[in-house]
A = this chain, B = another copy of it.
Amino acid sequence: MSPTVIKAVPMTAESFAPFGFVLETSENSMAAMNEARFERFHDLAKIDVDSGNDGRVAIGIAVAKVPVNMPHEFDLIERHPLGSQAFIPLSPFSFTVVVAPAGESVATADLRAFTTNGHQGINYHRGVWHMPLIATETGQKFLIVDRAPGIDNVQERVLEHTVTLSL
């Protein structure tokens, strides 16, 4: 079988909608806050966390230790059946995600890749398949909003063959 190459396209709220929400200031309704000292962009994503077994929303931070170069080869994909998961850069930088629709199975042909514009975060819908988070520079930080505890909330699949992600 010939190798699969997936080329990332620019992320937009519309194109990413089947997989999650885009957290950004440009696409949503705006309201004034604090006597108009701020513009507030409200309620940008659906946080969807199963409350069973003491499930709750948690905030964490991930710091990149081993960046990857593009093109990037991978064959593992994962999903979180018990909750949505948000990644928001804590400084302006672009990152790339690979996703496939929620469902019991996932095939290489279902994969799509998106690159953010440097001022976007994302919130995966519950159950959406995604490549594990990657970063392109050491020290890049992401805020994470997902479910705690993490137990029973990760399912992994190995794809039929290795996929190459390119920008």
Known: A25-B141, A145-B145. A38 touches B88 (CB 8 A): no
Return chain B residues, CB-CB under 8 Å to A121: 143
Given contacts A34-B132, A89-B90, A91-B91, contact A62 B43 (CB under 8 A): no
Q: Is the interface of A mostly helix, strand, loop or mixed?
A: strand
Q: Which residues of B contact A135 (CB under 8 A)?
A: 37-38
Interface residues of A in 87-117 (CB under 8 A from B): 88-92
Q: Are A68 and B132 in contact (CB under 8 A)?
A: no
Interface residues of A (CB under 8 A from B): 23-25, 33-45, 47, 49, 56-68, 86, 88-92, 121, 123, 132-135, 141, 143-145, 148
